Chains A and B, each alone.
Chain A
Amino acid sequence: MEIFNHNSNFNFLGLRKFSIGLAVLLMIGAIALIMTRGFNYGQDFLGGVAVQVEYKTPADPGEVRAALENGHLENPLVQAVGGSREFTIRLQPKGDVAAAGNLSNDEAATKVANDIMAALKASRPDVTMKSKSFVGPQVGEELRSDGIVAVIFVIVGIMGYLWIRFEKRFAIAALATEIHDVLVTLGIFALTQREFDLTVLASVLAVVGYSINDKVVVFDRVRELFRSSRNATPEEVLNRSINSTLSRTIITSLFTGITMAALYFIGGPVVHGFAITMLIGILVGTLSSIFVASPILLWLGVSKQDLMPRSKEDPELERRP
């Protein structure tokens, strides 16, 4: 079975002004969204208030969550503690509490705890509060600096590898599309205001891995075709590379997408953010492998000479005409 016409010869490079223009617009839009709306950071980043409650008769987490949402408390984290009567509820101080701004942690905890209890009592009066505390963010300065170091390490590592195995223009093109993919993925998060937590951060970084993998496959074909073709123009070579890897690019993203969709639909709320981010990232990464990476290569001016295997020639020979 073959879905894609193997003789396809779509002129992707002919669209380059349009596709790059769109990519740049998307990036600018993403930056604007991130600057103006920001992210809806989760408790991993911001901390929150933890309240432990006890019911007289068994209840289930779904019921508790519903009661909180009826009380207009957003994104509560409800967990059963050691049985079916005790629950821990974690919530981020928002709205009225955040507006007050300069409340101390204790005051904020009390206020949020009162809101929680009011919401719970409204649906089941047999609930009592056992304890409350303010929980600090899990992502400290440390993770932030570690994260920056890790990202720089990854960028330098990948660029170095591509530089050695391919050529510096490939490294630059990969980096540029990488930045595009991450920005657009983050932009969608800023747009939809989905909660941004640690698993989402992990998957944004995994998107980098997926997308670089995807680009390298196309680049690999570009190198191969440049070396084997005698007098094709760079544009022709790039077009042929995209076309001949097109079916693998799409099949792989479909297969990976299938697993992530499975994770999204039945993996439960803990991995929701992860799966949806991966799905967005796979889509963005696949499109940029097809439409964005190669035009950048063309603009950077890749040529056949740059890609020929460097044989150790006698320097004397080279100097001769």
Chain B
Amino acid sequence: MSDFPRWKYALVVIVLLFGILYALPNAFTPQPAVQISGNRGAAVDAALKSKVESLLAAAKVPASSVELDEKGTRLLARFGSVDAQAKASDALRTDLGDSYTVALNLASTVPPWLRAINANSMPLGLDLQGGVHFLMEVDQNAVIDAQETRYADDIRALLRDKNISYDAVNRNARGKGVSVVLRSEADRQQAATVIGADYPDLVVNDGANTGNRFILNATVKPDKLRELAQSTITQNVTTLRQRVNALGVSEPLIQQQGANQIIVELAGVQDTAEAKKIIGATATLEYRAGLYTPQQAVDAARSGSVPPDAKLYYGRDGRPYLLSKKVIAKGDELTSAISGRDQQNGTPNVSVTLNSAGARKMQEFTNDNVGKPMAVLYITRTVETKTVDGKEVKTPKITEEVINYANISSPFGRQFSTNGLPSDAEASELALLLRGGSLAAPVDIVGESVIGPSLGADNIDKGFKAVMLGLGLVLVAAAIYYKLFGLVADIALFFNLVLLVAVMSLIGVTLTMPGIAGIVLTLGMAIDANVLICERIREELRNGSSPLAAIRTGYDKAWATILDANVTHLLAALGLMTMGSGPIKGFGVTLFIGILTSMFTSVTVTHAITALIHGGRKLKTLSV
């Protein structure tokens, strides 16, 4: 038919095939699985695999398969039922001990050829899969406190460096900066100049002067404060991400929400206590002097007799070290850690910046100890909550390990780097550990919810039924009311569902219950374009147009309306999408994609089918 070009048929066919292909993975239901990942370098290999298999056999819950994932970092044991999964995870958790993290997971059953073309099923949200959701708030006051205290320290050190005599350097009220008390106007001016030169982020103002007290106020620029607050959040997100990775959850969501909130969602995780333990853990670092020789450390570990001035620690690899009991500097004195390469010999390194207090101590220590070893000790403190006799008992558990041990090459202070790391990966991991070791600012869990997997399955079931019933009713109603054109619209509507699911899967939209509601609403509204077209065609027929002319004019005239109506609707959906919070956003995204796909299916696809049916025939009437 002349008024429907061939390339449009081709487009319709290609798009529909694409839709079917990319929607297909959602037909494969995921399987309950248990995921085992190694802690701190514990090996995940064939030996572990056979061990897991025998443990499962002993516990009488044999897995349908146990396999290493593509990256070779995790072991995945699949089970036939949720009960078997729960039993298996309990058994494995007790038997594998602390070196491995055992987590519940849902394993994809999508065939490899589909995954090869990047066709995956939609990740399911918490409400459909179960899991835990935490809303955390970063204590912004603590951020300001930390920054202002740091500036006070730095100013004190700076004035001492420049030989400017001062009476006191103190913090003002929170957010009001630092006040410096000097002895003369000349000193004050000099101080203002050096502070201004060294710290461009500070605004220096003269304060009151009484007698021989000349006050100088240094406040942090609002821009800088905002920047600091943002970097604090970013750092906290990084830290949390690192900790969540230890949980081995498949699709963790860790994101900043607003100015000072962080959302952590762990779909598939059921144990809040375990999750809280890890994400809420407080970790810190300590720099300590290394004492004695490696051989003496090994001997001490074997005999158990540790010299009185030292304490025995172990590295990540299990090697023993003897470290001084005295701490040189702590993690909270560390302001940044960046991995890179040494400029002289090109080996991977990590450069660290300390605050002035830490720098002073570090300088004193390294001046006296060039050539001697120094170690970085990583300490995590977790709280285990158990219920004993109906009461909550919290027992803190402290893990300490040596993450770096190297000789001091030359004295250093504020900035120094740890050289000679074996690989870039190691360097960036160390930098991450140093940076992420402790949260930049305390976070409070302000919201927490757990959603059971059974409830999730129930939701999926209900959502699926609602989509099918809604779709079915509309299909029937359209077919009855618009006869053949209704049937054509039905085909388009069905493909709209397929295409919507395909696009959502391809861009990885997490499907939630409000998302399903969005799909149902989209289906209901998608038929609108066809209603418009059919009503137009009827009108044209009533006005005496020939059937083919009625179709052509009907489509032409309806298209302008459909465009206007849908553009305004898209704007509304865009508004929903830009709103921060979960359910609203998910719903908005679904609606937005749905409007776009429905414009294609209800206009182009139906036009193609209509042209195919009516094309090249002499028609007396239309079935509309």
Residues 390-414 of B at the A interface (beta carbon under 8 Å): 390, 392
Q: Which residue on B lies nearest to A78, using beta carbons?
A: B455
Would A212 and B574 count as touching, CB distance under 8 A?
A: no
Residues 245-302 of A at the B interface (beta carbon under 8 Å): 245, 247-248, 251-252, 254-260, 262-263, 266-268, 270-271, 274-275, 278
Q: Which residue on A lies nearest to B572, using beta carbons?
A: A209
Main secondary structure of the interface of A (DSSP, over half): helix
How many A-B residue contacts, CB cutoff 8 Å? 246
Residues 102-138 of A at the B interface (beta carbon under 8 Å): 128-131, 133, 135-138
What CA separation (Å) do A130 and B451 show in the bound complex?
Answer: 16
A252 and B521 in contact, given A6-B539, A202-B583, A216-B561 (Cβ under 8 angstroms): no
What CA separation (Å) do A147 and B581 show in the bound complex?
Answer: 9
Would B452 and A248 count as touching, CB distance under 8 A?
A: no
Would A244 and B520 count as touching, CB distance under 8 A?
A: no
Give the chain A neighbours of B157 by CB distance below 8 A: none
Which one of A129, A138, A203, A254 lies within 8 Å of B390 (CB-CB)?
A: A129
Q: Which residue on B lies nearest to A84, using beta carbons?
A: B454
A255 and B539 in contact, given A131-B392, A208-B572 (Cβ under 8 angstroms): no
Give the chain B neighbours of A1 by CB distance below 8 A: 480-481, 483
Would A79 and B564 count as touching, CB distance under 8 A?
A: no
Residues 515-543 of B at the A interface (beta carbon under 8 Å): 516-518, 520-521, 523-525, 527-528, 531-532, 535, 538-539, 542
Would B524 and A256 count as touching, CB distance under 8 A?
A: yes
Would B514 and A199 count as touching, CB distance under 8 A?
A: yes
Give the chain A neighbours of B353 by CB distance below 8 A: none
Give the chain B neighbours of A247 by CB distance below 8 A: 535
Residues 567-583 of B at the A interface (beta carbon under 8 Å): 567-569, 571-576, 578-583
Would B561 and A220 count as touching, CB distance under 8 A?
A: yes
**Closest approach, in angstroms, between the C-beta of A211 and any C-beta of chain B?**
9
Q: Which residue on A lies nearest to B527, using beta carbons?
A: A255
A209 and B591 in contact, given A199-B514, A266-B466 (Cβ under 8 angstroms): yes
Q: Which residue on B lies nearest to A252, using beta carbons?
A: B528
Q: Which residue on B lies nearest to A130, using beta carbons?
A: B387
Stretch at the interface among B66-74, B325-333, B456-464: B456-464
Give the chain A neighbours of B573 by CB distance below 8 A: 209
Would A258 and B477 count as touching, CB distance under 8 A?
A: yes
Q: Which residue on A lies nearest to B83, using beta carbons?
A: A83
Would A266 and B86 count as touching, CB distance under 8 A?
A: no
Would A80 and B447 count as touching, CB distance under 8 A?
A: no
Contact with B along A42-60 (1 / 0, CB 8 A): 0000010010100000000
Would A153 and B568 count as touching, CB distance under 8 A?
A: no
Would A262 and B466 count as touching, CB distance under 8 A?
A: yes
Stretch at the interface among A15-23, A156-164, A308-316: A156-164
Would B584 and A205 count as touching, CB distance under 8 A?
A: yes
Would B458 and A268 count as touching, CB distance under 8 A?
A: yes
**Closest approach, in angstroms, between the C-beta of A90 and any C-beta of chain B?**
7
Would A258 and B524 count as touching, CB distance under 8 A?
A: yes
A251 and B481 in contact, given A205-B575, A212-B569 (Cβ under 8 angstroms): yes
Give the chain A neighbours of B567 by CB distance below 8 A: 161
Stretch at the interface among B14-22, B148-156, B168-176, B257-265: B257-265
Which one of A82, A146, A257, A260 lies within 8 Å of B270 (CB-CB)?
A: A82
**Closest approach, in angstroms, between the C-beta of B444 and any C-beta of chain A?**
9
Residues 364-378 of B at the A interface (beta carbon under 8 Å): none
What CA separation (Å) do A256 and B591 show in the bound complex?
Answer: 14
A150 and B579 in contact, given A50-B448, A260-B521 (Cβ under 8 angstroms): yes
Which one of A6, A254, A263 lies within 8 Å of B470 (CB-CB)?
A: A263
In the assembled complex, A176 has its CB within 8 A of some CB on chain B: no
A88 and B449 in contact, given A143-B581, A201-B584, A259-B523 (Cβ under 8 angstroms): yes
What CA separation (Å) do A47 and B572 show in the bound complex?
Answer: 28
Would A205 and B572 count as touching, CB distance under 8 A?
A: yes
Would B539 and A244 count as touching, CB distance under 8 A?
A: yes
In the assembled complex, B474 has its CB within 8 A of some CB on chain A: yes
Give the chain B neighbours of A270 by CB distance below 8 A: 127, 459, 513
In the assembled complex, A14 has its CB within 8 A of some CB on chain B: no
Would A216 and B565 count as touching, CB distance under 8 A?
A: yes
**Closest approach, in angstroms, between the C-beta of B154 and any C-beta of chain A?**
33
Which one of A6, A143, A202, A251 lies within 8 Å of B576 (CB-CB)?
A: A202
In the assembled complex, B194 has its CB within 8 A of some CB on chain A: no
Give the chain B neighbours of A33 by CB distance below 8 A: none
What CA separation (Å) do A201 and B454 show in the bound complex?
Answer: 27
Q: Which residue on A lies nearest to B583, using beta carbons?
A: A198
Contact with B along A1-21 (1 / 0, CB 8 A): 111001000000000000000
In the assembled complex, B566 has its CB within 8 A of some CB on chain A: yes
In the assembled complex, B197 has its CB within 8 A of some CB on chain A: no
Give the chain A neighbours of B261 by CB distance below 8 A: 140, 142
Q: Which residue on A lies nearest to B514, using beta carbons?
A: A199
In the assembled complex, B300 has its CB within 8 A of some CB on chain A: no
**Closest approach, in angstroms, between the C-beta of A129 and any C-beta of chain B?**
7
A199 and B583 in contact, given A1-B480, A82-B86, A213-B568 (Cβ under 8 angstroms): yes
Q: Which residue on A lies nearest to B132, using beta carbons?
A: A81
Would A267 and B463 count as touching, CB distance under 8 A?
A: yes
What CA separation (Å) do A263 and B465 show in the bound complex?
Answer: 9
What CA separation (Å) do A91 and B524 show in the bound complex?
Answer: 34
Contact with A along B90-109 (1 / 0, CB 8 A): 00000000000000000000
Would A210 and B525 count as touching, CB distance under 8 A?
A: yes
Residues 214-263 of A at the B interface (beta carbon under 8 Å): 214, 216-217, 219-221, 224, 244-245, 247-248, 251-252, 254-260, 262-263
In the assembled complex, B214 has its CB within 8 A of some CB on chain A: no
What CA separation (Å) do A198 and B257 show in the bound complex?
Answer: 16
Would A258 and B449 count as touching, CB distance under 8 A?
A: no
In the assembled complex, A32 has its CB within 8 A of some CB on chain B: no
In the assembled complex, A154 has its CB within 8 A of some CB on chain B: yes
Residues 346-392 of B at the A interface (beta carbon under 8 Å): 385, 387, 390, 392
Q: Chain B: residues with CB nearer than 8 A to chain A?
A: 86, 127, 135, 137, 257-259, 261, 270-271, 385, 387, 390, 392, 446-455, 458-459, 462-463, 465-466, 469-471, 473-474, 477-478, 480-481, 483, 513-514, 516-518, 520-521, 523-525, 527-528, 531-532, 535, 538-539, 542, 557, 560-561, 564-569, 571-576, 578-584, 587-588, 591
Q: Shortest 8 CB-CB distances between A and B: which pairs?
A: A142-B258, A209-B572, A259-B524, A154-B575, A259-B470, A136-B446, A256-B524, A80-B452
- Sampled A-B contacts (17; CB under 8 Å): A1-B480, A79-B449, A131-B385, A142-B259, A153-B578, A154-B572, A158-B572, A199-B517, A210-B569, A214-B565, A216-B564, A220-B565, A255-B527, A256-B521, A259-B474, A267-B463, A268-B466
Q: Chain A: residues with CB nearer than 8 A to chain B?
A: 1-3, 6, 47, 50, 52, 61, 79-84, 88, 90, 128-131, 133, 135-143, 146-147, 149-151, 153-154, 157-158, 161-162, 165, 198-199, 201-203, 205-206, 208-210, 212-214, 216-217, 219-221, 224, 244-245, 247-248, 251-252, 254-260, 262-263, 266-268, 270-271, 274-275, 278
